Amino acid sequence: MIDYCEFLNRLKSIDELDGFADYISPRITDAWQQLNNGDLSKWQHAVNSLPDVNPSRIDINNDAIAIGYLGDCDDKTRARLKESLMQLHTWRKGPIDFFGIRIDTEWQSYMKWNRLKDKIAPLKDKLILDVGCGNGYYGLRMLSQGAKVVVGIDPHLLFVMQFQAFNKYIKTDAVSVLPFKLEDMPTDTPCFDTAFSMGVLYHRRYPIDHISRLKNLMKPAGQLVLETLVIDTDKDEILKPKKRYAKMPNVWQIPSPSVLVNWLTQAGFRNIEVVDITRTSHAEQRRTQWMQYESLENYIDKNNPNQTVEGYPPPTRAIVLANK
């Protein structure tokens, strides 16, 4: 279990987040227990074994988050560090440099960030919610844009622990990754200026419910940044995979952009704008030393690059902005 005191104090020091902090504080222990995972003690050990090193720089402004320089520690310490970081395999979102060790993550996450960062409302001094935040890579990039606080939530404890590994060295109390699902969040505290939901909607059985829950947490006129898989067609279409989509078992519905806009309209959003549609490339998602399982190349039909192994359209993602 992680000590979230500093982060919760930070939330409580911000008037608009006081009620939100009061709601989540007593629920963290339960959430942690419910999400418990057989590998948790291994991950905790890995984080506890990270060597004490003082980074002479923290850089969250560039594509790769950089903690320290190669010269900040000796080779023996770096070998220990690498061993601990490897215990936190699978590394999906990044890249991140730890004292000269480049964690080459499955996703080159900066590619998505660069597609959206100049299109969204400025984050300076804003209160941000990042639902399904993974290890907090994007939360740190939001902080680099001047966000006042970023509340990341993700139910997968590996990602919660990966953030702990970053934050052992970064030591920020303005970003955290909390072990919650969106469904665990309060429904009557509209306190965030911007809510991000990236890569989550297609995993939800009831997408409009997910969108409405995001809306409940947003201030009036707040901005939603929704990123999700789409079927790239001008028609109103929804793909409901029979079993798997790109080998993923839990993909319920993939809408066309016009259907996605309809869902947002039905949930009561306005100023809805599709700002980007990009087919996922092998440059953006691939297997690496730090993610040794299957990746995009295994999800695409070897004889036809224009379809998944199941015969569906290949992974393509849209970024949609909307106001409450």
Ligand X SMILES: C[S@@+](CC[C@H](N)C(=O)[O-])C[C@H]1O[C@@H](n2cnc3c(N)ncnc32)[C@H](O)[C@@H]1O
Restricting to residues 110-149, name those near ligand X by CB under 6 A. 131-134
Rank residues 73 and 153 by Cβ distance to ligand X and give the closer one.
Answer: 153
Of 46, 198, 259, 320, the one binding ligand X (CB under 6 A) is 198
Closest approach of Cβ 18 to ligand X, in Å?
23
Of 73, 127, 182, 246, the one binding ligand X (CB under 6 A) is 182
Rank residues 12 and 203 by Cβ distance to ligand X and give the closer one.
Answer: 203
- Can residue 88 be called a binding residue for ligand X (CB under 6 A)? no
- Structure-block tokens of residue 270: 């306005």
Closest CA to 94 of 82, 81, 84, 109: 109
- Can residue 159 be called a binding residue for ligand X (CB under 6 A)? yes
Closest approach of Cβ 178 to ligand X, in Å?
10
Of 31, 47, 67, 93, the one binding ligand X (CB under 6 A) is 93
The CA distance from 179 to 154, in Å, is 5
Q: Which residues contact 231 (CB under 8 A, 6 or more apart)?
A: 237, 238, 239, 254, 255, 256, 313, 316
How deeply is 208 buried, as exposed, middle or buried, from its count of CB atoms within 10 A (0-12, 13-18, 19+)? middle
28 phi and psi angles, rounded to 5 deg? -65, -45
- Can residue 203 be called a binding residue for ligand X (CB under 6 A)? yes
- Can residue 213 be called a binding residue for ligand X (CB under 6 A)? no
Among the listed ranges 56-64, 143-151, 152-160, 297-305, the one in contact with ligand X (CB under 6 A) is 152-160
Residue pair 68/53 in contact by the 8 Å Cβ criterion: yes
- Can residue 153 be called a binding residue for ligand X (CB under 6 A)? yes
- Structure-block tokens of residue 114: 């660069």
Closest approach of Cβ 179 to ligand X, in Å?
10
**Rounded-to-10 torsion of CA 199, 182, 32, 171:** 70
Separation in Å, CA 48 to CA 77, 80, 108, 152, 213 = 14, 12, 27, 22, 35
- Can residue 155 be called a binding residue for ligand X (CB under 6 A)? yes
Residues forming the site for ligand X (CB under 6 A): 93, 109, 131-134, 153-156, 159, 181-183, 198-200, 203
